[in-house]
């Protein structure tokens, strides 16, 4: 017994293969779109995971530090560190800036972390090269996507920072690479103004009679000095002691410290459900349409492939082939096409995925689901073709 | 069975290639892919430690020279940048009524002196009077004994003598009061003279004028500076060092100083003083660093970076600092065991300036640890050691 389907495919294998590859590229585009969607969600997720925190303490009533601006005094951690269940606290400052480096503007997120000992909350959990920040000032760890090299000096606002370490997959919720710097530098970057603004601000204060009264020497200087302080951070990252209940500790902080505290689950809800919700839905919509289009095209291809073999099927019927054999041939061809398409698609997505500017995450479960969907669509599409094939009149073999 | 045709061979080859490509994609990108890591051995090494701080150039002693009384500035004789000597007149306050007050004081001192003189004369006169009265009373007492005079006359003479003695004592007191008054008037005169001297603002040291803060005609309150003078040889750095990394900060530590205006150069120095009082708000320790040789052309307020060299630790068991990780509130390292990552809690010590961390407990020399990894590791993650990640 010879396999009719494979004999038929070998007969016109070039056409079959090109159809499969074309279909594969379409499936590849769909898989990539799914990967883009997963990547977006993952960007939000790694931001939460990489901070290494169990609780985020932010300004009262804000959704900070990632979704909304939040400003806290940098000594707030002292009162939080004393709460039962808190193992470690760490101040952190986040700021997205446009960084000019080697004549190219890159959008990066500056993350200020405490560096008095390694692995403080907020620090990157792993490095791909170099070492952690050891100096209290002017050192940086950059995400590889920022395009910086080890040992390079990069100017961020007023000061040059030396890149001492590189890391990977440390991005903001919008996919911008992170640059980690010591907290005090980040505070300066975020809260200290440029020279012109400082000079103007001093002149403005000096022109204010409330701060520049005759007979009160020193008042103006005191007012000037108090205006140039950078004593704020965006959030206090809290690590909990083993066995502490995050919700209970968060409740304690909210109630007695007059601050807002988010647990990991709440933070995920803010970042993934709220911050990237609209853009994720946008991509999701597009993914659904692309899937429908792919399904339609697969169905058309199989249908037309079958119709192109009207004469051959009629001959088969004429020589007494059973309907089961004809249906099997069409189904097998459709499934083969689906398998080739899926493999080509997965390879294509795997090859062009890393070239995307933002992260494309191809999950194995997505691939498996995609494979099942492709085969289902092929089977459904072949059923239409089988009906058409069975309706062919054997007389067509000789007449036509 | 005929031998496979060329077409079949080509198709099979294509199919194998195709499946190989798919296999490669799955093996390198999926969850089955091993995480690339770099490894390093724990070894005994020399840990050169350092502290880093941001500093500003300051004058060790800055003299704010101003009047001790409120008044108007009459003249300012120096300007910013002028070199001055100790005792040199820098500025003068307006005298206003100071000379008149001096004259009044002198006159009142002279008057007091005259009054003292008069009191002295009065004392001499009353002394003489008392002596006369005493003699006369003694004589009468003698005559009374011989019954030449009446008792009444003798009593009157005795009374006269006592009264004259009292009058003399009053004259002594009046003289003391007059003398005290004279002293007061003279002291007042001296005080007024000193006040007048304070209106002349003179430099207490040899130095340079760094600020001219008031111009002639402006009114300043007591204690407000008119001119600021520093000793340029006393310039030093005020260094702020993060409390968390200030262990080992001590007087005498050698320092390397990089001035902001000269980023490529390093100036040697050492810690002269460590403040007992740190900054509680910024959580920093404060120390003062002096230059071994003061560079020319530096300005007060200039920013500098100071690296302090701490004594090195010889033969310390150490691993690269990047290997030190944290899992469930525990410090430790990842180790490669049969192609899988395993977390090993360790106790780490000091960290050297070039990124090596001392191992106190948990590792032995020659133990291999994972330094860098392409993604976060978990217990049991499949790993693939490479020389460098890229």
ipTM of the complex, rounded to two decimals: 0.77
| Least CB–CB distance from B221: residue in A131, A215, A241 | A215
Separation of alpha carbons B91 and B75, rounded Å:
6
Spatial neighbors of A84 by CB under 8 A, at least 6 apart, are: A244, A249, A252
Bridge pairing between strands A139-143 and A159-167: parallel
CA distance B242 to chain A (A): 7
A167 within 8 A of A144, measured Cβ to Cβ: yes
Please judge whether B376 and A125 are an interchain contact, meaning their C-beta atoms are less than 8 angstroms apart. yes
Separation of alpha carbons A294 and A275, rounded Å:
30
Rg (CA), chain A: 31
| Short-list B248, B210, B214, B244, CA closest to B61 | B210
Separation of alpha carbons B368 and B39, rounded Å:
6
CA distance A364 to chain B (A): 6
| pLDDT tens for each residue of A218-276 | 788 888 877 766 678 999 999 999 889 999 999 999 988 889 999 999 999 888 887 77
- pLDDT tens digit at each of 390 positions of chain B: 456 677 778 878 888 887 888 888 777 766 667 888 999 999 999 998 888 888 999 998 889 999 888 889 999 999 998 999 999 999 999 887 888 888 999 999 999 999 999 999 999 999 999 999 999 999 999 999 998 888 998 999 999 999 999 999 999 999 999 999 999 999 999 988 888 888 889 999 999 999 999 999 988 888 889 999 998 888 999 999 988 888 889 999 999 999 988 888 899 999 999 999 988 877 889 999 999 998 888 888 898 999 999 888 888 999 999 999 988 778 899 998 888 899 999 999 888 888 899 999 888 888 999 999 988 888 888 888 998 887
- In chain B, the largest separation of any two C-alpha atoms, in whole Å, equals 192
| Short-list A353, A41, A349, A355, CA closest to A171 | A41
Separation of alpha carbons B19 and A399, rounded Å:
44
Q: Which residues in chain B have their CB less than 8 angstroms from residue A52's CB?
A: 326
Q: Which residues in chain B have their CB less than 8 angstroms from residue A75's CB?
A: 281
CA distance B88 to chain A (A): 26
Please judge whether B30 and A364 are an interchain contact, meaning their C-beta atoms are less than 8 angstroms apart. yes
Of A41 and B171, the one with more pLDDT = B171
Model pLDDT, residue B33: 78
Model pLDDT, residue B57: 93
- Searching chain A, which residue's CA lies closest to the CA of residue B353? A134
User: Stretch A282-299: mean pLDDT, rounded?
Assistant: 84
Q: Which two tokens stand for residue B73?
A: 């500035």
Q: Which residues in chain A have their CB less than 8 angstroms from residue B241's CB?
A: 136
Q: Which residues in chain B have their CB less than 8 angstroms from residue A11's CB?
A: none
User: Stretch A183-201: mean pLDDT, rounded?
Assistant: 81
Classify A271 in phi/psi space as left (phi over 0), alpha (psi -120 to 50) or beta.
alpha
Ranges of beta strands (E only) in chain A are 55-58, 72-73, 86-101, 104-113, 129-130, 139-143, 153-156, 159-167, 178-182, 232-233, 235-240, 260-263
The answer to whether the pTM exceeds 0.80 is no
Q: Does B2 touch chain A (CB under 8 A)?
A: no
Model pLDDT, residue A399: 65
A209 within 8 A of A77, measured Cβ to Cβ: no
Separation of alpha carbons A327 and B30, rounded Å:
36
Separation of alpha carbons A134 and B324, rounded Å:
13
Q: Does B323 touch chain A (CB under 8 A)?
A: no
- Searching chain A, which residue's CA lies closest to the CA of residue B320? A131
Query: What Cα–Cα distance (Å) separates residue B237 from each residue in B215, B260, B289?
Result: 31, 13, 5
User: Stretch A80-102: mean pLDDT, rounded?
Assistant: 89
Instruction: Using DSSP, state whether A30 is helix, strand or coil.
Output: helix
pLDDT exceeds 50 at position A155:
yes
Helices A195-207 and A219-227, axial angle in degrees (round to 10):
140
| Least CB–CB distance from B375: residue in A10, A168, A362 | A168
Q: Which two tokens stand for residue B265?
A: 């150069």
Q: Does B321 touch chain A (CB under 8 A)?
A: yes
Model pLDDT, residue B122: 93
User: Stretch A337-355: mean pLDDT, rounded?
Assistant: 88
> What residue ranges do the domains of chain A occupy?
4-43+277-397, 51-275
């Amino acid at each position: 017994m010879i396999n009719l389907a494979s004999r038929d495919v070998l007969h016109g294998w070039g056409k079959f293969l090109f159809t499969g590859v074309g279909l594969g590229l379409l499936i590849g585009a769909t898989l990539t779109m799914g990967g883009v969607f997963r990547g977006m969600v993952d960007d939000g997720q790694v931001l939460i995971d990489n901070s290494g925190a169990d609780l985020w303490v932010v300004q009262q009533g804000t959704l900070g530090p990632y979704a909304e601006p939040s400003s806290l005094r940098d000594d707030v951690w002292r009162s939080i560190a004393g709460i039962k269940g808190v193992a470690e606290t760490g101040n952190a400052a986040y700021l997205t800036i446009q960084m000019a480096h080697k004549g190219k503007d890159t959008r990066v997120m500056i993350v200020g972390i405490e560096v008095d000992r390694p692995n403080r909350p907020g620090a990157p959990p792993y490095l791909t090269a170099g070492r952690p920040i050891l100096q209290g000032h002017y050192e940086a760890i950059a995400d590889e996507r920022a395009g910086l090299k080890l040992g390079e000096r990069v100017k961020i606002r007023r000061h040059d920072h030396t890149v001492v370490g590189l890391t990977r997959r440390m991005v903001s919720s919008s996919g911008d690479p992170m640059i980690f710097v010591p907290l005090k530098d980040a505070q300066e970057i975020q809260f200290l103004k440029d020279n012109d603004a400082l000079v103007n601000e001093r002149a403005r204060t000096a022109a204010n009679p409330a701060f520049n009264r005759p007979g009160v020497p020193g008042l103006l200087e005191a007012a000037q000095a108090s205006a140039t302080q950078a004593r704020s951070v965006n959030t206090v990252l809290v690590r909990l002691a083993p066995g502490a209940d995050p919700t209970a500790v968060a409740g304690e902080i909210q109630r007695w410290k007059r601050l807002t505290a988010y647990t990991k689950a709440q933070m995920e809800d803010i970042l993934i459900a709220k911050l990237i919700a609209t853009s994720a839905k946008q991509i999701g919509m597009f993914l659904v349409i692309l899937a429908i289009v792919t399904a339609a095209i697969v169905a058309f291809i199989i249908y037309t492939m079958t119709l192109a073999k009207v004469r051959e099927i009629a001959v088969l019927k004429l020589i007494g082939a059973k309907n089961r054999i004809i249906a099997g041939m069409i189904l097998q061809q459709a499934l083969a096409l689906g398998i080739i398409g899926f493999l080509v698609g997965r390879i294509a997505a795997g090859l062009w995925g890393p070239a995307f500017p933002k992260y494309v995450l191809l999950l194995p479960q997505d691939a498996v689901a995609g494979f099942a969907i492709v085969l289902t669509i092929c089977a459904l599409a072949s059923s239409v073709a089988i009906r058409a094939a069975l309706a062919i009149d054997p007389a067509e073999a000789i007449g036509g | 069975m005929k031998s496979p045709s060329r077409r079949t061979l080509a198709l099979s080859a294509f199919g194998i290639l195709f499946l190989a490509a798919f296999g490669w994609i799955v093996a390198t990108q999926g969850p089955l892919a091993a995480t690339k890591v770099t490894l390093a051995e724990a070894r005994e090494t020399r840990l050169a430690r350092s502290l880093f701080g941001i500093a500003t150039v300051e004058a060790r002693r800055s003299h704010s020279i101003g009047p001790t009384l409120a008044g108007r500035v009459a003249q300012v004789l120096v300007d910013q940048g002028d070199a001055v000597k100790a005792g040199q007149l820098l500025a003068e306050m307006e005298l206003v009524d100071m000379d008149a007050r001096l004259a009044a004081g002198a006159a009142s001192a002279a008057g007091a002196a005259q009054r003292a003189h008069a009191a002295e004369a009065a004392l001499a006169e009353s002394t003489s009077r008392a002596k006369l009265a005493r003699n006369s009373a003694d004589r009468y007492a003698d005559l009374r004994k011989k019954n030449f005079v009446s008792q009444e006359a003798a009593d009157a003479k005795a009374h006269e003598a006592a009264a004259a003695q009292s009058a003399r004592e009053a004259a002594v007191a009046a003289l003391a009061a007059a003398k005290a008054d004279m002293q007061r008037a003279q002291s007042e005169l001296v005080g007024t003279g000193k006040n007048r001297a304070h209106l002349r603002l003179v430099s207490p040291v040899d130095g340079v004028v760094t600020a001219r803060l008031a111009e002639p005609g402006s009114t300043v309150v007591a204690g407000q500076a008119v001119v600021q003078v520093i000793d340029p040889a006393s310039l030093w750095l005020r260094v702020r060092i993060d409390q968390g990394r200030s262990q080992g900060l001590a007087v005498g530590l050698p320092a390397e100083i990089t001035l902001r205006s000269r980023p490529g150069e390093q100036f040697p120095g050492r810690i002269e003083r460590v403040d007992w009082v740190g900054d509680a708000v910024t959580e920093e320790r404060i120390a003062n660093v002096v230059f071994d040789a003061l560079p020319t052309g530096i300005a007060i307020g200039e920013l500098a970076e100071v690296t302090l060299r701490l004594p090195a630790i010889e033969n310390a068991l150490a691993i690269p600092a990047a290997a030190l990780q944290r899992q469930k509130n525990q410090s430790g390292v990842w180790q490669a065991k049969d192609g899988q990552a395993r977390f090993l809690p360790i106790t780490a010590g000091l960290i050297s300036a070039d990124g090596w961390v001392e191992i106190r407990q948990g590792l032995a020399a020659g133990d291999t640890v994972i330094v860098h990894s392409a993604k976060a590791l978990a217990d049991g993650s499949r790993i693939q050691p490479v020389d460098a990640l890229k």
